[in-house]
């Protein structure tokens, strides 16, 4: 049932690469969280001033609120994808250690989990880039 002598030091050295990926995902989540906070703050400001605006300014504010809503959904999607990436990395590390201690062939599962983690991370970065493009192109909003 248990493998004879798993080389724990080798296994731990192999686990270092996924830890770096977890660090990158954690950093990305921090950046995304800050961007989400800024979008929410701007929505709150617009909601506070909206009742006192005339019709033209109100229409402009509604347009910006729509844009902010799109940005918020993009950040949320990027965060979700990044969290899935971190979960896949965690499962990858568990599978690698289980494979070392129990005689099972989990290396295909480890490979698939790594691919899933990287695809989730890449997806998160792509959605994040889209949100950045949206934010940059909206900097000339009349409400700013």
The least confident of 13-17, 40-44, 56-60, 107-111 is: 13-17
- State the first-to-last Cα distance of the chain, in angstroms, to the nearest integer: 66
Distance CA 67, CA 46 (A): 12
**pLDDT-derived band at 143, boundaries 50, 70, 90:** low
What's the pTM value of the predicted model, to 2 decimals?
0.83
Which one of 16-20, 65-69, 94-98 scores highest in mean pLDDT?
Answer: 65-69
**pLDDT-derived band at 18, boundaries 50, 70, 90:** confident
């Amino acid at each position: 049932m248990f493998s004879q002598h798993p080389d724990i030091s080798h296994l731990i050295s192999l686990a270092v690469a996924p830890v770096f990926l977890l660090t990158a995902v954690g950093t990305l989540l921090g950046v995304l969280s800050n961007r989400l906070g800024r979008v929410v703050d701007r929505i709150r400001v617009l909601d506070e001033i909206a009742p006192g605006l005339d019709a033209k300014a109100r229409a402009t504010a509604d347009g910006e609120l729509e844009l902010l809503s799109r940005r918020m959904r993009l950040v949320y999607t990027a965060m979700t994808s990044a969290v899935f990436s971190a979960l896949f990395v965690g499962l990858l590390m568990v599978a690698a250690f289980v494979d070392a201690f129990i005689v099972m062939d989990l290396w295909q599962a480890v490979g698939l989990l790594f691919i899933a983690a990287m695809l989730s991370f890449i997806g998160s970065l792509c959605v994040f880039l889209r949100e950045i493009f949206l934010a940059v192109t909206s900097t000339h909003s009349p409400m700013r």
